[in-house]
A = this chain, B = another copy of it.
Amino acid sequence: MPDSVTQQRDGVRDTGDRTGPEVVLVHPQIGENIGTTARAMLNCGLGNLRLVRPREAWPNEKAVASSSGATDVLEGAKLFDTTADAVADLSRVYATTARPRDMVKPVLSPRAAAHEIRDYQETGGSVGILFGAERSGLDNDDVALADAIIEIPMNPDFSSLNLAQAVLICAYEWRLAGAAEDGGAPRRGRPQAEAATKAELLGFFEHLEAELDRAGFLYPPEKRPRMVRNIRNLFARADLTEQEVKTLRGIVASLVKGRGN
């Protein structure tokens, strides 16, 4: 979301969950992508970054510039010469790829993998997720090091995801997998908003209907009950607050005396 959307919270700054899975970038070619990857990781609360022989020099100024402040993640990044070295201390490794491989390995969605990773880490396991280079992706020797494959379900005709966006999807699912629930149930945007009582609502309805009778709007009489029901229904759906009911009564009164002012 745009920068302005940053939320403020009291308490310590969350600079990334050191217990989350290791994000392993294998031969990343572009410094900017390492920075945007660090940003995406920290957006989702992940802090553990590993780099296998990045093409550009490390530390990398362009990575810092594109990380939008996720410098803790970049400064904590560990460098390795080979993918084997990078995963040596891990007990479970996932390879992100969609290219068909002549290897028999379980293939998981990011969502299924996220739950598996959470469960695995809760029982003391250490996990890494491999992401290939921008151009060439993971080679078969890298994938051979993995226990399972994560396939991100994209448009088959345009599935080439930017590196940081592939990391974002996996990190986002990891974050949601840890949430009590995905926040799915719609909630009031302003819980403290005082909902109007039925009495207040009825008072407004009677006020409005009295004025509409006087104006001859609820006519003919045989149609009045239906018209009143429809009008009450549309306002009832608005889930009005006490203040909004007052506003509506003010609007009706104001429109009625109208030109009087």
Contacts and interface: CB of A to CB of B under 8 A. Distances in A.
Interface in A156-214: 156-166, 168-169, 172, 175-176, 179, 182-190, 193, 208, 211-212, 214
Interface in A76-133: 96-99, 101-109, 111-112, 115, 131-133
Contact of A215 (B131, B132, B165, B257): B257
Tier of interface size on chain A: 35 or more
A6 B160 contact: yes
Contacts of A186: 106-108, 112, 148
B1 A160 contact: yes
B136 A2 contact: yes
Nearest to A255: B255
Contacts of A162: 36, 39-40, 68, 164
Contacts of A234: 238, 240, 244, 247-248
A211 B155 contact: no
Interface string A1-32: 11111111100011100000000000000000
A100 to B, nearest CB: 8
Interface in A24-55: 36, 39-40, 42-45
Copies per assembly: 2
Interface string A45-70: 10000000000000000000000111
B4 A136 contact: yes
B187 A106 contact: yes
Given A3-B135, A155-B43, A231 B247 contact: yes
Q: Which of A39, A42, A105, A255 has the most CB of B within 10 A?
A: A255
Interface of A: 1-9, 13-15, 36, 39-40, 42-45, 68-70, 96-99, 101-109, 111-112, 115, 131-138, 148-149, 151-166, 168-169, 172, 175-176, 179, 182-190, 193, 208, 211-212, 214-217, 227, 230-231, 234-235, 237-241, 244, 247-248, 250-252, 254-259, 261
B247 A2 contact: no
B5 A160 contact: yes
B155 A14 contact: yes
A151 B183 contact: yes
Contact of A230 (B227, B235, B244): B244
A164 B133 CA distance: 20
A175 B161 CA distance: 14
A255 B250 CA distance: 13
